[in-house]
Amino acid sequence: MKAPNTFSSKAWLLEGPIHSIPGILHLEDRTLSYLILESGTFSESKLKSLLESHGAGTSEGDSKYPIQLFSISLDEVNTFHIPWYYFGAGGKLSFAKHELRFSFVKPQNTVEPTYYSESFLEWRGGKGQDEVNILEGKSSGKTWKALLS
C-alpha cells in the first residue's frame, strides 16, 4: 500500500473501560494531530485534566469545540501498535510521555458528534445513529498502521 501524504479518520480517544472522546486523527505534511469534536463520555473535569496534561487549550466557553489535543511531528511518535484484541480497528499511540488508545470504530456508549466541517463533510453525525461501521474502522486501522509503524 502506498502511504498517502494526507490522511484523516474518525477516532475515539479511549480511557479506561467506558470513557471515550470523539475526534479526528489527522496526518498532513508529516504532522500528526488529534481534534476533539465533543466531550463524549468525559466529564468537564476529566476533559480539563486531559487537556492540561497535553498542554492544550482550556475547555471553557460555549463554542469550545473543536479542540486540538496535540500536534506532533512524525519524528516524535515513539510507537503505534495495534493489539490483537482491537481486531485492526484501533491502536495505541505513544509519544513524549503520553500513551493514548484510539478506536476507529464508534464505541457502543457514544454517538457520532454533530460537528460540521467543509473538510470532513462525510462526518456530520448526531443523535439516533445506530450503525457501527466496522469495515471503515478496520480500513482506517490498516492505513494508520502503514503510516505510523
Give me the DSSP letters along 86-128. GTTSEEEEEETTEEEEEESS--TT--------GGGTT----TT
At the topology level of CATH, where does 6-148 sit? PH-domain like (2.30.29)
Whether residue 49 is predicted with pLDDT greater than 50 in this model: the reply is yes
pLDDT reading at 61 higher than 70: no
Report the pLDDT averaged over residues 88-111: 89
pLDDT higher than threshold 90 for residue 14:
yes
What pLDDT does residue 134 have?
Answer: 81
The per-residue pLDDT of the chain, averaged, comes to 83
Q: Which residue has the higher pLDDT, 7 or 112?
A: 7
Question: Whole-prediction pTM value?
Answer: 0.81
Where is pLDDT greater, at 145 or 61? 145
Please report, for the chain, the start and end positions of each structural domain, with discontinuous segments joined by +.
Answer: 6-148
Lowest-confidence range among 70-74, 130-134, 139-143?
A: 130-134
- Counting beta carbons within 10 angstroms of the beta carbon of residue 119, is it exposed (0 to 12), middle (13 to 18) or buried (19 or more)? exposed
Asked if 24 and 10 count as a contact pair (C-beta separation under 8 A), the reply is yes
> Alpha helices, DSSP H only, in the chain?
44-53, 134-148
For residues 84-110, give the mean pLDDT: 90
d(CA 122, CA 53): 31
Q: Grid coordinates representing 10?
A: 474518525
